Structure 1
Amino acid sequence: MNKVYASFGCNGHVVIDLQAEQRRRHRQLYMEALRTLKTKEDLFSYSINGVQIGDEIYESYLRTFSRPTAELDRFLCQYLIYVAIGYFVFFEDFFKQHNVLGAVLSHDIYIQMGILAKIAWKNEVPVYLANAHDLKRTLGPDQKWSEFSKYPEYFSQLDKGSQEAGIRWAEEQLSKRLGGAVGVNMPYSSKSAYISDFIDRQTAATEKKKIVIATHCFFDNPRAYGGMLFPDFYEWISFLGTLAEQTDYEWYIKTHRDFLPGTAKVIQDLVEKYPRIKLINPNTSWHQLKAEGVGYILTCYGSVGHELPLLGFKVINAGYNPHIAYEFNWHAKSIDMYRRMLLDLDGLGDIRELNKIYEFYFVHHRLSRLNQSSYFDSWGSMIAYATKNVRSDEIFETVMREGDGRLAQVIEAVDEFVASDYLSEAEMLIYKN
């Protein structure tokens, strides 16, 4: 591994080893944290010297120990608080003691990467997010996902021929996905939620408004896009379970057909806790639920936001999401706004900008994906090679296996990225035009 690093100029490794004064400060901050952090909200918003590290601790706990929500009274949660404070103390001093010009990370979440990224941003040091999926230069925590709001601008800057070709491609892809094809621009998916086969009826045969909660994975980076209204998906569903008691709607919950281990147990516990919410068989098709009269879908930021409006569902997002620039679904900007939306579903009005779904899909899945044109033939083709883990060394092996031509293509893509003053792939295409 050292030889690999040395091949592109790395001189060595930074070893996280606290000195005596740092250990004293680490211990003092940790004991203070144990005294003051009493609730999940306290943990999530926990900051040191203006740098919020609590959200990194929170999500690391969910991910590391497959827990649906934070539990401050558990030793493992307290252990991660201890680890995170150690990371913070070390890197805060490191940036004071060295002239750091940049931080190159695979991602900017969880304790090991997220805290370093935030300290870099505080010191006005750019963070380069480089992985098999993307390549970005960021100057702040909100920049990574700010491009979602620019999607209409990206599309409008393309020439008419490129726009028309993009729309045709999007229509074809979404037609496949809604027709039951598996893995269309979603290589991680192993089962389709749009099968044509119907099973036993899942909802009551009444005229009441029917709402389905479309779940997410409880353990994997709930605030992936930064602006979710709740600290985790467990708290989101708990909010909905309490709100359900104030309505005359029928409430249902549905997982992905290929849900991860552990999800079923969490959902079952929530359904028992909030009996107004009924569990739907995961194998139920969205086509069947539409036929049964379901009209409203709740998600935080899921792909159902651009899929289900095409079937006539009204989709409400719980905060910032990739569809934020469009009106083919609804976006709650605060918990109070979310509550008001849910208590007055008639006030939502009709679905708008339905035709804009194809524009969104093209920009999201093609125009803004660097790997589609530079690193690999497509994200899907890369996944076909990297069968173990998309973050494993198989990514590197894939490039090397395809020979010098592919490696030269990667180098050219990175050179172009730098020469364009670190524009995103979507911005580079517009820049070239």
Structure 2
Amino acid sequence: MNKYLALVYDSFFFTGKERGCLWSKKEDLVLPKPRTEGVILVDLPHVSNQLVENLAVSKSFSEHSGNKVEYYVPNIYYANRSLVVRCLGKWLSNFFKASTFARKVGAYHGLSISNVSLSDKKEANKVKRQVWSSMSSKQNLVDFTFRGVSVGKAVYDTYLRVTKKATVDLVDPKLEGLFFEALLLLVVAEKYFQSRKVNYVFLGHSVYVNWQIVSDLAIKYGAKVFVTFNSRFPPLHCVNENRGLQTLDHTVYKDKFRVLSPAKQGECLRLGKALIEKRLNGALDDGVVYMARSAYSGKTSVEGLESESGRRPLIFMLHSFSDSPHIYKNMVFPDFWEWIVQSLEFIETNKLYDKYNIFIKPHPNRFQYEDKFVAQLKEKFRFTRILDDKINNQAFGNCNAAAIVSVYGSVAPEFTTMGVPVILCGDNPTAAYDFAFNAQTKDEYFELIRRADELCLDPDKLNQVYEFMYMHFIRSTGVSFSDYPFKRWKPAEKIIGFNCRYSDFSYIKFSKILQPYLQKYI
């Protein structure tokens, strides 16, 4: 009961310090009167740090475009609950703390459970009945699109996150329920976009059902979509510029680098090299500052890691199983669990444990509940050894490892620099380069695993690593992280009042920082 009371309280009230900090910024966030029929749709997070960011960005765009600001409350899924919850949800939605504050600064209601009609539910149910039976495999679900929207990926990632599972269960009623909720949001949101001229959309994510459906539809109807607090490079990112993804478009890196002058290229390579060397020495730069600690800190001596009996280490770097596996364009396996299980099954079937010592390193930023999945791997595949997630990754560069294996981890440039081959099997920021061994199919991937000890790195490709580090982490594409007041992560610092990191925020200063970035979108 206390859990539900806390949830209700959190929906309607900000904490004492958070409330005081937020209301002190109210006058700074008051929105201008609209001058055109155009609309800005803004996501309303329940965390005030993110709420202030979204409203501040919306205000800046509204000032320059004259567009009206409307808000999106991601609670349409309440329409798939009991009658009591549906009715209360529709009524109470107007009194949620974020909605109340947004109206106080001049935002108008745009999209929420209040938009849902009985005909919307009937339409979503009709579509579900037509297509649900075709979700006969995990890959079918991943690949499912409807009206140009990546419904399958959104449902898949949301299911993993809300059920705290490592992979989907295709016969789980919860999965079918989520599928319906995604279709319902699609139906309702599409009517919203058809009824208005929405020019800009600001969301915290462009993954998971509540955000990916809206993002994909907004792009379909000609809006510019920006990811705010879950974007990293830059801290405010237009997803239209990368196939609807909330990551940078790495496919253009090489072409953009080629047009630089030789002198500028040399300077960029030096900067990229300096950055990777700092990271390998334990520094947390903007690219990895979300990590609780550097992967290159801690002990580098690990008993039993070195080659033995002619068997070289083959090291699998796990991902967080339920943390948006489909954030990039594609991957060879439907999810991270299928990747590691099928990899270990291939090793077992072909007795490659006679050729390699198989090690698994859990992701240091995994959710705590994922420890049971790691234990299941150890129980099922007795030839594996689970490593401490606090081991310094430098240890893997000193043990004559055959290869490091990941789906799309940041380890590719790091271990390549250390002279260790990296095997990948999905779209990832390094995919435009070939310093890592990136498989496009399962056959290619398993063949790379089979002959991992034969893979050789070309030392001439180190410049590719430095080029990548510059293009992905240093090159300015808009607002710089150092100038942006809404810092996502502050390394090596205990934050008091985590949700009030905007306490020194000034809209006048922020709008000046943002103005050069937004000019090309107005």
Q: Equivalents in 1 of 2:307, 2:496: separation in Å?
A: 42
Name the structure 1 match of 2:408: 301
Give the letter aligned to residue 423 of structure 2: I
Q: TM-score, length-normalised on structure 2?
A: 0.70
SS at match of 2:462: coil
The TM-score with structure 1 as length reference comes to: 0.83
Alignment of 1:224-303 (within 5 A): 224-245=327-348, 246=350, 247=352, 248-303=355-410
Q: Structure 1 residues 31, 202: closer, same or farther in 2, change over 3 A?
A: same
Residue 174 of structure 1: aligned partner: 276
Structure 1 residue 404: Cα displacement: 5.5
Alignment of 1:147-158 (within 5 A): 147-158=249-260
Amino acid aligned to 2:383: R
Distance 1:350 1:47, change over 3 A: closer
Distance (whole Å) between structure 2 residues aligned to residue 384 and residue 211 of structure 1: 32
Please report how far the alpha carbon of residue 35 of structure 1 lies from its aligned counterpart in structure 2 after TM superposition. 4.3
Aligned counterparts of 1:143 and 1:222: Cα–Cα separation in 2: 13
Pair 360,80 (structure 1): closer, same or farther in 2 beyond 3 Å: same
- 1:360 partner SS: helix
Q: Deviations over 1:217-257 (max 9, x none)?
A: 11111121122212211111011011112133332111244
Aligned residues of 1:211 and 1:252 also touching (Cα < 8 A): yes
Could you tell me which residue of structure 2 aligns to residue 28 of structure 1?
126
Partner of 1:76: 174
Name which of 422, 446, 462 aligns with 1:354.
462
Distance 2:140 2:196 in 1: 32
Q: CA deviation at 1:417?
A: 3.5
* Alignment partners' CA distance in 1, 2:488 and 2:241: 30
Work out the CA distance in 1 between the residues paired with 2:244 and 2:116.
Answer: 30
Identity of aligned residues (%): 22
CA displacement 1:319-340 (0-9 Å, x = unmatched): 2111112222111112222122
Relative to structure 2, which stretch is displaced further, 271-280 or 55-64?
271-280
Indicate the larger mover: 129-138 or 50-59.
129-138
Corresponding residue of 2:303: 200
* 2:451 is the alignment partner of 1:344: yes
Counterpart contact for 1:252–1:277, Cα < 8 Å: yes
**Residue of structure 1 in register with 2:137 after alignment:** 39
Task: Find 2:226's aligned residue among 125, 129, 142.
Answer: 129
1:267 Cα offset (Å): 1.1
Alignment counterpart, residue 54 of structure 1, candidates 126, 129, 152:
152
Aligned residues, how many? 413
Unaligned runs of 5+ in 1: 420-433
Structure 2 Cα separation of the partners of residues 160 and 59 of structure 1: 43
Cα separation, partners in 2 of 1:261 and 1:158, compared to 1, 3 Å: same
- Check whether the contact 1:126–1:139 (CA below 8 A) recurs between aligned residues: no
Three-state SS of the structure 1 residue aligned to 2:314 is strand
Indicate yes or no: 2:207 matched with 1:109.
Answer: yes
Distance 2:380 2:362 in 1: 17
Equivalent-residue separation in structure 2 for 1:175 and 1:186 (angstroms): 14
Kindly state the Cα deviation for residue 386 of structure 1 after the two structures are TM-superposed. Answer: 11
1:220 aligns with 323
CA deviation vs aligned residue, 1:347-389 (integer Å, no higher than 9, x gap): 6443351122112111111115533268428967877899589
Q: Would the alpha carbon gap of residues 89 and 384 (structure 1) be closer, same or farther in structure 2, given more than 3 Å must change?
A: farther
From the superposition, tell whether residues 364 and 175 of structure 1 become closer, same or farther in structure 2 (CA, over 3 Å). Answer: same
Q: Secondary structure at the match of 1:207?
A: coil
Please report how far the alpha carbon of residue 283 of structure 1 lies from its aligned counterpart in structure 2 after TM superposition: 2.9
Show the counterpart of 1:10.
69
Q: Secondary structure of the equivalent of 2:188?
A: helix
The AA in structure 1 aligned to 2:356 is Y
SS class of match (1:354): helix
**Mapped contact 1:192–1:257 kept (Cα < 8 A):** no
- Paired position in structure 2 for 1:120: 218
Q: Report the 3-state secondary structure (helix = DSSP H, G, I; strand = E; otherwise coil) of the residue aligned with 2:109.
A: coil
Which shifted more, 3-12 or 104-113? 3-12
Aligned to 2:13: none
Residue 431 of structure 2 corresponds to residue 324 of structure 1 = yes
Cα offset, 1:211, TM superposition = 1.1
The answer for unaligned runs of 5 or more in structure 2 is 1-22, 33-58, 60-67, 71-107, 230-234
How far the C-alpha of 1:110 sits from its partner, in A, is: 1.0
Q: Give the residue type in structure 1 aligned to 2:191.
A: D
